[in-house]
Amino acid sequence: MIPLDENDLNGVLGYLGKIRPADLSSRFARAGGYDASSFISCGEEWEGYFSAVDGSNAMVLESGSFSVVLVRAVETTFSGGRRAHAGETPLRAFRIGPETENPAYGDLYAACFESTPLRSLENEDRSRAASVLRDTLEYSTALRLVSNLDAGDILVLDGALRVDHESHRPVLQDILRSARRRGVLIAAVTKMAASTWGGGIPLVPAAAALAHDLGRNEAWYLEVPPEVMDAERYEEWHFGDTYVASLHPKAPLAFKVEVPKGTSSRSVETTFAALTSYADDGRVTGYPFPLFDAHRLVTIGADQVEQVRQALIRGMSGQGMTGSEYKAYFGDIHDTFASYR
């Protein structure tokens, strides 16, 4: 057994005990004033087009001073339980660094939205920069898609109705305005929610525990007002009302779901009926299948990363770069370490 400092282990276990107290469900019930009637049963009847958008990014090359990242976005649309359409953006490759500001972001933003970003993209955090580039393609896809949907259809995003970069704030607002104008429903589903309440207790497990203790075994949703949750950073970039939902009676997990702020109770009811109608696939029971479909289509696999890497290597070789020079720029001594395990 690998030796581990007992104090470190106890520290982690102590935190886990703090976020799952013995009175979790009753404490959450008191915090929100919840009882069995607070959990609303999801409807089962819904007809319309169900569209989902997801994005992906993957690092191709990394050196000490810069990285090359691949990004793309996908949309998939279902009707009557079958995929009616799917589309993807071209696979794009961007350099991140060594400049302070990303030189490609302004051009990408202008191509997607025909405007100039409110703020440039900084390269200091390469992982975050890659996510912003990916989100740009996701929002561009969603903006285009919402203009092709009709009243009663639904557009579902992966994540939350909040932006992580200031330049995306007007874009998400445009998506929400267009959807409201056309009568299109909007929802965002978070696979692993970071939201907490009560000073750091995870939100979704608490709601699920309370539903279980109250005997709510059907598909349900629960509204969680801001005063119940812990304060979140950059609230001005957040445009959703928060719900926790279990979308199938046999769902192993509940999820955080957001709908646009101020959505009427009737539209919320229809939104969850739509989500539930596509949450019965046995592979991902309780998760909207079109989002799963979009995730499968958009994932940038290792073979695609390797193809792009090899294309770049061939190009660098054509410019006269030798193998030893390549190692000097992109070699990782961790690969050498790993060979001696």
**16 inside domain:** no
Q: Are 115 and 260 part of one and the same domain?
A: yes
Q: Are 310 and 162 part of one and the same domain?
A: no
Strands (E) located in the chain: 40-41, 50-62, 67-79, 82-88, 92-96, 154-158, 185-190, 196-197, 201-202, 220-223, 240-246, 255-260
Q: Are 314 and 205 part of one and the same domain?
A: no
**CATH code of the domain in which 95 resides:** 3.30.420
- Read off the pLDDT of residues 285-339 as tens digits, 9 standing for 90 and up: 999 999 999 999 999 999 999 998 888 889 988 999 888 888 888 877 656 656 6
- Read off the pLDDT of residues 96-140 as tens digits, 9 standing for 90 and up: 999 999 999 999 999 999 999 999 999 999 999 999 999 999 999
Task: State the CB neighbour count (10 A cutoff) for residue 219.
Answer: 24
Q: Are 215 and 279 part of one and the same domain?
A: yes
Q: Are 54 and 178 part of one and the same domain?
A: yes
Q: Are 166 and 187 part of one and the same domain?
A: yes
Q: Are 178 and 321 part of one and the same domain?
A: no
Q: Are 254 and 321 part of one and the same domain?
A: no
| pLDDT-above-70 percentage for the chain | 96
Q: Are 174 and 317 part of one and the same domain?
A: no
Could you give the angle at which helices 24-32 and 203-213 cross, rounded to 10 degrees?
A: 100
- For residue 23, what pLDDT band results from cuts at 50, 70 and 90? very high
Q: Are 314 and 287 part of one and the same domain?
A: no
**34 inside domain:** no
- Read off the pLDDT of residues 221-268 as tens digits, 9 standing for 90 and up: 999 999 999 987 667 789 999 999 999 999 999 999 999 999 999 999
- Position with higher pLDDT, 13 vs 2: 13
Chain centroid to Cα 170, Å, comes to 19
Q: Determine the structural domain holding residue 310 and report its residue range.
A: 302-338
The alpha carbon dihedral of 211, 24, 206, 30 has a sign of: positive
User: How many domains is the chain built from?
Assistant: 2
Is the distance from CB of 63 to CB of 70 less than 8 angstroms? Answer: no
Q: Are 294 and 278 part of one and the same domain?
A: yes
| pLDDT-above-90 percentage for the chain | 80
Q: Rounded to whole angstroms, how far apart are CA atoms 193 and 74?
A: 22
Is the distance from CB of 96 to CB of 65 less than 8 angstroms? Answer: no
Cis ω on the peptide bond leading into residue 98 (within 30° of 0)? yes
Q: What is the pLDDT of residue 317?
A: 87
SS3 label, residue 23 = coil
Place of tokens 């309440």: 197
Is the distance from CB of 96 to CB of 123 less than 8 angstroms? Answer: yes
**315 inside domain:** yes
Q: Are 240 and 315 part of one and the same domain?
A: no
Distances (CA, A) of 77 to 46, 53, 71, 287, 313: 15, 9, 21, 16, 37
